[in-house]
Amino acid sequence: MDGIAKADSALFTINNVWMLVSTILVFIMHLGFASLEVGLTRAKNTVNILFKNVSILAIGILTYSICGFNLMYPGNFAFGEYFGFGGWGISTPEGSAGLIDYFNGQYTYFTDFIFQAMFAATAATIVSGAVAERIKLSSFLIFSTIYVAFVYPIAGSWKWGEGWLDSKGFYDFAGSTLVHSVGGWAALIGAYILGPRIGKYGNKGIIPIMGHSMPLASIGVFLLWFGWYGFNGGSVLSADPGNISLVFVTTTLGAAAGVLGAMTLSWYLSKKPDLSMVLNGSLAGLVGITAGADVISPMNSVIVGYIAGLLVVASVLFFDRLRIDDPVGAISVHLVCGIWGTLAVGIFSAEHSFITQFIGVFSYAVFCIISSFILFLSIDKLLGLRVSEDEELTGLDLGEHDMEAYSGFQIFTVE
């Protein structure tokens, strides 16, 4: 092996290892989602939420291996760059075609698959939080399976699979729209069709339903922020030092600015510092910068993140006024800030058009809203979406699982 070949082989190994490390970081995000959702909901639904998060991860990976990967990256489109299918299952090309020659010497076929599979599972996890505490487990799992198996990868193929939006110049670096808004639209439709939790809204207006563990919610956010370095950093698709360094900086600044944006507005409006808003502010900043983490400058990433922090607070209040009950603020974080982050690419990057970004956002909205409505309404007609009133009041842990998350503990109240 000559010197150039050795150098290429070493660089290939480094690139591939970084992609696998990023995959691990994205995997850790699922623990973050689970902890955040559990913390921001009531103790009586903890087992149910953990069950959904474990199941979604498994369903997302398996369906992506069966059909999702080849829907998202079909190779050839059958219908005008809108839909294509590369066949069932995954199978690496033989020899170097699946290794060093697979993607310009940056990673292998199987590394490509497993990294993308973690993203697929993330889209369904977003829905879980918005419909928490009142959806039937079986109905939710059926929805998630179909959505992750077909809707998410077809939508993803339009950009990342070199489909029609990619041809138009639409840009989404790591998924503000392709992952977060795709999940966010489904979360919005699901929460709307289900209706609010019992006791959330009354004649006197909004009645807060507090989560049972802010420490768990905080741990979840730190895990998500940590995992986001793989989510965005891995989307460089190589171990390129310059690009990864830039992405790490813009990701961090966006998240930090999101915290301050949410802190500013929530403290001003409520006259008290709200930890839940600040936690969601960090996620808002992360979602907001994800579309343009590699093309938006560090100082502009602060602006993007800060505005995302303001938006998430305003959005939570807005959806509450509409009586759309989202226990964890998933719609505001992932949908609203995903839209903002995608449009921000057209504002803060001279290389990309705001109009094109808007066309992309609108197209995904139409596709995901229609798909989600059809799926949720069909499942509601066939199986029902919502648990009984007794189950909801007792808690889904006992109602659906006949288990308790904190068995043996008793809550004492002071008269």
> Domains along the chain?
3-401 (1.10.3430.10)
Stretch among 91-100, 222-231, 238-247 having the lowest mean pLDDT = 91-100
Give per-residue pLDDT as tens, 135-194.
999 999 999 999 999 999 999 999 999 999 999 999 999 999 999 999 999 999 999 999
DSSP 135: B
Q: What is the pLDDT of residue 413?
A: 44
Furthest-apart CA atoms within the chain: distance in Å: 81
Stretch among 60-69, 75-84, 193-202 having the lowest mean pLDDT = 75-84
Q: Residues 325, 191: contact at Cβ < 8 Å?
A: yes
Q: Is 86 helix (H, G, I), strand (E, B) or coil?
A: coil
Please, what is the average pLDDT of the chain?
A: 93
Q: Where are the alpha helices (DSSP H) in 104-146?
A: 109-130, 137-146
Q: What is the pLDDT of residue 408?
A: 72
Give per-residue pLDDT as tens, 280-327.
999 999 999 999 999 999 999 999 999 999 999 999 999 999 999 999
Continuous segment of H or E residues that includes residue 228: helix 214-233
Which has the closest alpha carbon to 128: 63, 254, 17, 41? 41
**CA–centroid distance for 188 within its chain:** 13
Stretch among 80-94, 124-138, 314-328, 348-362 having the lowest mean pLDDT = 80-94
Quick check: 3 pLDDT over 70? no
Quick check: 130 pLDDT over 90? yes
Beta strands in 299-408 (DSSP E): none
Q: Is 385 helix (H, G, I), strand (E, B) or coil?
A: coil
